[in-house]
Structure 1
Amino acid sequence: MDAPVPELAARAARCAERLRASDDLLLASHIDADGLTSAGIASTALERAGVAHDVVFEKQLDRDAVERYADAEYDTVFFTDFGSGQLDVITEYDAFTPVVADHHQPADAETACHLNPLLEGLDGGSELSGAGASYCVARALEGEEADNRDLAALAVVGAVGDMQVVEGELIGANAEIVAEGVAAGVLDASKDLAVFGTQTRPLPKLLAYASDVPIPGITGDRNGALRFLDGLDADLRADGEWKTWADLDVDGRRTVVSALVQRAIRTGVDAAEVEALVGTTYTLTGEEPGSELRDASEFSTLLNATARYDRAAVGLAVCRGERGAPLDAARDLLREHRRTLATGVGVVRDVGVEREANVQWFHAGDRLPETVVGIVAGMAMGEDGVDAGVPIIAFAEKDDGDADADDEPGVKVSMRGTPRLVERGLDLSAVASEAAAAVGGDGGGHEVAAGATVPAGRESDFVAAADAAVGDQLSS
């Protein structure tokens, strides 16, 4: 068996050896799309290898969670999409052997079974996601009859959901996994219109809601999108209803893209943004055409909806191939998620966005769930009064329903930037970590998106520290 990421082969082998030897195994994973696909890959591979296991999900891996695992007397705990940053805490306990497949910045501690691209010089923010790390372990778990290359499709969903697409495509180790998925017949990677909703949204809605490359007269304007499409010489309807992008033939797609590019150029859209209209799309060939699961981006959004409303088990079931009731439940949660997001930008308008020298911020209080405030912050960038070229910080009250009465109240922080800001030197992971530490909190994440938890009442101090850190990064 050839390793999908040769640099990580030895680490993957050590992790797999420990997992096979486990008598009582717990799989613990993060709740976002990358965490759910990580768990789906790991759980499926463990089942195929005959390794019994339990699964739990956490919004955040902290000391309380690690203590619960230790008290439960598992001999091994397999951490996916988190664990590296908490190794200093994890290694304090000798009740279990930790196995970690993660891509976040590691803490200053060591353990024998630790797979992380950063330990081998690979970029964990753009070259390999948590799902990709789990996939490496899954391939090492293969026996004589097992072939886990079909799990590459889930690894790609995780990478896309973790915003690891760079200039329109997955790169580095992620690209190697894409190649394995294509070879296994579970993925198709091809150049196409790079907007969200190509499988499920009727064309007018698809174009009006496509905000990554704003086109005057179409983006955010349903009537404008209708007029644009009505003016094209192409077969865009079936039985009187608008087709989806997936329904169009090659000629129809070519006609729409050509007209979009011409409109963008004519209305003054930057040339680099025009080029971004077309990118690599990742299609899960085994899924039903026209479903959310067919497109990696739509699949990841569906998974995010399950976890953010405390239904991670539903997302895991879908990742493990269950359809029927789990998929119906996931779709219901997605509809709820979209309703929440639709009102979210209105909440931002109501509370207002404050501008500092290098960042902007808002505080949603209890008006938005902590699990979606980061998504809303990203959606708000470019709205009236929100500068799309400046990092945004969002605060929301933490859901501390499970906290002890003596615990200090906390505030959830979500931070969003843009790829262009990252190119200029922005690293929100470092900003979140530095600013949170300055106020007695904890933070981290990725260059373009990060998060933190800080004590209530220290938000202004966090903003000041983050503003200074971003200023230093962008001025260097």
Structure 2
Amino acid sequence: MAPLQRELERAAEVIKKHDYARVVSHYDADGITAAGIICNALIRRGIQFHATIISKLDRYSVQEMNEELIIIADMGTAQMNLILKFLKEKDVVILDHHTHAASSLKSSSSTILINPNRLSSKSEERLGGELCAAGLSYLVARLLGSDDERGNVDLAGLAIAGTLGDKLPLDRGINRLILDEAIKEGVVTPRKGLKLGDGKVRDLILLSTDPYIPLAGKTEQVDRFLNKVGIEGEKRLEELGEEDVKRLSSALLSIARESNTELREEALIGTSYLLNLEVEKNVLDFMRMVDACGRFGKAGMGIGLCLREEKLVEEAKSLYMMFQNKLVSELNRIEVAKEGGMKELPNVYYLYVQEKGITGVLAGIIAEYINTSKPVIVLNRKNGANEHGDTKISARCSKKLLREKGIDLSKALEQAASEVGGYGGGHPVASGASIPEGMEERFIAAVDRIIGEQIRTS
């Protein structure tokens, strides 16, 4: 961890020199919790700030940054050339974990790029490569804390929520150190059971998309199912006894097997966490509420949740329910659609979505639970119908495909997008792209070709 620690310490010292900061981050759960951690730490040091949550970092957004200190979270590695060109006179701290082809990019005298994947690229030992932006932000916040060893440790729950939002493991590496510290200090409490969040059993099953339960959105089937297993649907999940939980989980896994849904037992049952200091205690519910805020253009509300504004909880819950309903609606549409549904090429599945703001989450659900044998590419013309005329794309695949077939979606999307005048990148199993409208079919063909080449040469 030594190279990473040196960069973190350097970043903290740069931040301490300023009395005002611009904070820029991504609009998903990891990005918003990362921004929330940084904003909390800045407030406690008496540093004023302006926080901006965006869907992508491009030339337009970089050029309009004119503050003396700019902190960028959950993005920036792929845009280092833009940052070095337009912000070379500014102090810039980048807290990112996305991979990029230009892995040799170096920090400059005024720009500090902290990316565990980049720092560990030449080492046989991974130096925290599974850290997300929220985890990196927490490590910086700890260094910004008081001289007390516990300074800003109370923000660990936000780091854990961001890590779960990016579906990264908590049981190893630096993530495990953060979790252990949080448990020791009473910031979080482990809890075993079903990983469905808190609420009424019937409602949780109806809206369960991750883990994906094939009963989602099917009211009559859910009622018949609960009646058959003898579980009262209006009862809250946390009120069920141990035998009821065992009976319910066994029945849900059976339903998944019958419908050929790849619902693993560990995805449904296991350890979750209570955030003892946050406005929403269940970590899954908190993470999903923050994520929904970002995807509905209410990122300020998401940051407010991270700043522990209790008055925002009910509206954030409503946004989360709306988001889940959109997801369930789209999943059910795909299930019955003939035209406009899932399409298959030799090396990928792909589809166009009709709901705005769900592209990446939908791709992840399908790739993990439904169509798992190939990467899944989801295109959203509505989501990308912005002032630049772009189409937004998300791609997901399982870690099994990464291990067994050598698939790297980050490289595939970056290359395919550049071939059609767009840009892309991210992680080997979860990447995104933005391409000019009208280039979708050429892009899909390019991705299919590149992934085929990856498989043949692995």
Kept in 1, the 8 Å contact 2:188–2:276? The answer is: yes
Comparing 82-91 with 35-44, greater Cα deviation is found at: 82-91
Query: Helix, strand or coil for the counterpart of 1:91?
Result: helix
Q: Which amino acid aligns with 1:176?
A: L
> What is residue 133 of structure 1 aligned with on the other side?
136
Distance 1:144 1:423, change over 3 A: same
Does residue 305 in structure 1 map to residue 285 in structure 2? no
1:412-454 CA-to-partner distances (Å, cap 9, x unmatched) read: 1111222332332332112111211222211011222211011
Q: 2:204 aligns with which of 198, 202, 206?
A: 206
Q: Which amino acid aligns with 2:329?
A: T
1:141 deviates by 0.6
1:266 deviates by 9.0
Q: 1:294 and 1:21 mapped to 2: Cα distance?
A: 35
Q: 1:51 and 1:114 mapped to 2: Cα distance?
A: 21
Does residue 17 in structure 1 map to residue 13 in structure 2? yes
1:355 deviates by 1.4
> What is residue 174 of structure 1 aligned with on the other side?
175
Kept in 1, the 8 Å contact 2:207–2:328? The answer is: no
Does residue 286 in structure 1 map to residue 277 in structure 2? yes
1:84 deviates by 2.0
Query: Helix, strand or coil for the counterpart of 1:388?
Result: coil
Q: 1:30 and 1:455 mapped to 2: Cα distance?
A: 21
Distance 1:89 1:242, change over 3 A: same
1:390-412 CA-to-partner distances (Å, cap 9, x unmatched) read: 21212222667873xxx5x3211
Q: 1:456 aligns with which of 423, 437, 441?
A: 437
Q: 1:431 aligns with which of 412, 432, 448?
A: 412
Kept in 1, the 8 Å contact 2:410–2:424? The answer is: yes
> Kindly, what percent of the aligned residue pairs are identical?
30
Does residue 374 in structure 1 map to residue 335 in structure 2? no
Query: Helix, strand or coil for the counterpart of 2:65?
Result: helix
1:221-270 CA-to-partner distances (Å, cap 9, x unmatched) read: 6555555544558xx55xxx632222224454345445656x47996989
Does residue 32 in structure 1 map to residue 28 in structure 2? yes
Q: Which amino acid aligns with 2:44?
A: R
Q: 1:211 and 1:55 mapped to 2: Cα distance?
A: 30
Distance 1:250 1:415, change over 3 A: same
1:203 deviates by 2.1
Does residue 110 in structure 1 map to residue 107 in structure 2? yes
1:171 deviates by 3.0
Kept in 2, the 8 Å contact 1:103–1:124? The answer is: no
Q: Which amino acid aligns with 1:317?
A: G
Query: Helix, strand or coil for the counterpart of 2:264?
Result: helix
Comparing 425-434 with 252-261, greater Cα deviation is found at: 252-261
Q: 1:428 and 1:473 mapped to 2: Cα distance?
A: 10
Q: 1:102 and 1:123 mapped to 2: Cα distance?
A: 16
Q: Which amino acid aligns with 2:173?
A: G
Q: Which amino acid aligns with 1:186?
A: V
Kept in 2, the 8 Å contact 1:215–1:269? The answer is: no
Kept in 2, the 8 Å contact 1:129–1:158? The answer is: yes
> What is residue 353 of structure 1 aligned with on the other side?
342
Comparing 106-115 with 177-186, greater Cα deviation is found at: 106-115
Query: In the TM superposition, what are the counterparts of 1:329-348 in structure 2 within 5 Å?
Result: 329-345=315-331, 348=334
Kept in 2, the 8 Å contact 1:395–1:411? The answer is: yes
1:76 deviates by 1.0
> What is residue 44 of structure 2 aligned with on the other side?
48
Query: Helix, strand or coil for the counterpart of 1:152?
Result: helix
Q: 2:234 aligns with which of 223, 227, 242?
A: 242
Distance 1:47 1:374, change over 3 A: same
Q: 2:257 and 2:330 mapped to 1: Cα distance?
A: 32
Q: 2:350 and 2:260 mapped to 1: Cα distance?
A: 27
Kept in 2, the 8 Å contact 1:87–1:110? The answer is: no
Q: 1:471 aligns with which of 427, 441, 452?
A: 452
Query: Helix, strand or coil for the counterpart of 2:108?
Result: coil
> What is residue 380 of structure 2 aligned with on the other side?
396
Distance 1:225 1:362, change over 3 A: closer
> What is residue 396 of structure 2 aligned with on the other side?
416
Q: 2:264 aligns with which of 273, 276, 295?
A: 273
1:17 deviates by 0.5
Total equivalences in the alignment = 442
Distance 1:41 1:123, change over 3 A: farther
1:349-391 CA-to-partner distances (Å, cap 9, x unmatched) read: 3523221101121234xx432x3222233445599xx733221
Question: Could you list the runs of 5+ residues in structure 2 that have no partner in the other structure?
Answer: none
1:84-141 CA-to-partner distances (Å, cap 9, x unmatched) read: 2211110113331111111112543423523221133276997211100101100111
Query: In the TM superposition, what are the counterparts of 1:128-167 in structure 2 within 5 Å?
Result: 128-145=131-148, 147-165=151-169
Does residue 91 in structure 1 map to residue 78 in structure 2? no
